[in-house]
């Protein structure tokens, strides 16, 4: 928040950013919940393959479970339509999210 204050951002904006940063992993209010969904959707769409390639299977399984379970039910339905070219990753993903 020091950087935002340094550049004289409105204090209300600074507080909103602070709240989102503090709650972005687990949500807790409408905006933080939206951010959680966006973060998880982005992870599954953009970062999942890299994560899988650089971690072991158990770490990957745990990460999928964490990212999936923190999402809203509506976003969880979107994620179920994702598939990966890597068969092993796709299998682990299906084991955790179903479908």
pLDDT tens profile 12-23 = 999 999 999 999
Return the residue matching tokens 């933080």. Answer: 32
- Measured between alpha carbons, how far is 75 from 68 in angstroms, rounded to an integer? 9
Looking at the predicted structure, is the pLDDT value of residue 99 above 80?
Answer: no
- Measured between alpha carbons, how far is 72 from 75 in angstroms, rounded to an integer? 5
Q: Which residues contact 45 (CB under 8 A, 6 or more apart)?
A: 82
Return the residue matching tokens 């809203």. Answer: 72
Query: If pLDDT is split at 50, 70 and 90, which confidence band does 1 have?
Result: confident
Query: If pLDDT is split at 50, 70 and 90, which confidence band does 26 have?
Result: confident
- Entry pTM: 0.84
| Distance between first and last Cα of the chain | 42
- Measured between alpha carbons, how far is 40 from 97 in angstroms, rounded to an integer? 13
């Amino acid at each position: 928040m020091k950087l935002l204050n340094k550049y004289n951002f409105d204090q209300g904006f600074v507080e909103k950013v602070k709240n989102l940063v503090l709650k972005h992993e687990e949500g807790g209010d409408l905006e933080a919940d939206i951010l959680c969904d966006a973060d998880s959707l982005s992870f599954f769409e953009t970062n999942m393959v890299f994560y899988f390639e650089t971690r072991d299977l158990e770490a990957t399984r745990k990460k999928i479970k964490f990212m999936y379970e923190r999402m809203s039910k509506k976003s969880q339905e979107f994620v179920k339509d994702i598939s990966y070219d890597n068969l092993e990753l796709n299998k682990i993903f299906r084991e955790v999210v179903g479908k």
